[in-house]
Amino acid sequence: DTEVTQTPKHLVMGMTNKKSLKCEQHMGHRAMYWYKQKAKKPPELMFVYSYEKLSINESVPSRFSPECPNSSLLNLHLHALQPEDSALYLCASSHTTGTNYEQYFGPGTRLTVT
Amino acid sequence: KQEVTQIPAALSVPEGENLVLNCSFTDSAIYNLQWFRQDPGKGLTSLLLIQSSQREQTSGRLNASLDKSSGRSTLYIAASQPGDSATYLCAARGGGNKLTFGTGTQLKVEL
């Protein structure tokens, strides 16, 4: 099973709302990632978790708050977002050791901020 | 800072044609290079991964090559089909489990 699942598929939220995106994998991967992708642009890395600890934060605004409660789950908590935060949010996972690994991506959550 | 560029940005070919997509990266100190496919509004599907020590990888009608010294990778698609229509992204892996994505090539295969 090489599946990464993400919920919800679509999310519309106001600028004062609080919502969460969820990501799950059962491949035994210990690295998990959040990416943001705007239309017709490549994905941009936001956060990397390694062994449930945040290892990379690409200077993401604090209105995005990641959480890795266990080795299979990754959340992205959203609060006080701006319309320019509307994008496709992609989760990915991979092994952490060695160089021979692939990142497996989920289908994404399409977020619209109104 | 790693920069990854893909040429062409868009490509339209008739069905059955063989084609080559190009990927260039500025920092040759990479661990591997991964090719992805993305359908509109969807996630990324991994196609091929080439280790830094490898020259090429093959999967079905797809063949990817890597020349680290020149900072280039190519994705060769044989006998293209309409179902191959998608955006193709290359991504170079550097330190810290970070992938740097290219700008993408939007491919359309016409009947």
Q: Provide mean pLDDT across the span A86-114.
A: 89
Select from A98, A106, A80 the least CA-distant residue to A26. Answer: A106
The band of A100, judged by pLDDT with boundaries at 50, 70 and 90, is low
Alpha-helical (H) ranges within chain B are none
Give residue-wise pLDDT tens across range B10-27: 999 999 999 999 999 999
Residue A101, min C-alpha distance to chain B (Å): 8
Give residue-wise pLDDT tens across range A44-97: 999 999 999 999 898 999 999 999 999 999 999 999 999 999 999 999 999 876
B42 touches chain A (CB under 8 A): yes
Best of B45, B54, B99, B103 to disrupt the A interface by mutation (most A CBs within 10 Å)? Answer: B99
The pLDDT of residue A2 is above 80: no
- In A, minimum Cα distance to B104 occurs at A42
pLDDT for B4: 96
Return the number of CB contacts < 8 Å for A and B: 60
Token pair for residue B48? 């091929």
Report helix, strand or coil for A113: strand
A30 touches chain B (CB under 8 A): no
Report helix, strand or coil for A52: coil
Select from A82, A92, A78 the least CA-distant residue to A44. Answer: A92
The band of A99, judged by pLDDT with boundaries at 50, 70 and 90, is low
The pLDDT of residue B42 is above 80: yes
- In A, minimum Cα distance to B42 occurs at A107
Spell B22-52 as b/e; 16+ CB within 10 A means b. Answer: ebbbeeeebbbbbbbbbeeeebbebbbbbbe
Which carries the bigger pLDDT value, residue A7 or residue A95? A7
Q: Provide mean pLDDT across the span B97-108.
A: 92
Please state, for a pLDDT cut of 70, what percent of chain A lies above it: 95
Select from A30, A38, A41 the least CA-distant residue to A92. Answer: A30
Q: Do A50 and B34 touch (CB under 8 A)?
A: no
Stretch among A5-19, B50-64, B89-103 having the lowest mean pLDDT: B89-103
Best of A11, A33, A35, A105 to disrupt the B interface by mutation (most B CBs within 10 Å)? Answer: A105
What sign does the dihedral B9-B70-B37-B20 (CA atoms) show? positive
Q: Provide mean pLDDT across the span A40-47.
A: 93
A105 touches chain B (CB under 8 A): yes
Please state, for a pLDDT cut of 90, what percent of chain A lies above it: 82
Q: Do B43 and A90 touch (CB under 8 A)?
A: yes
Burial class (CB in 10 A: 0-12, 13-18, 19+), B14: exposed
**Which among B46, B98, B102 has CB closest to A102?**
B46
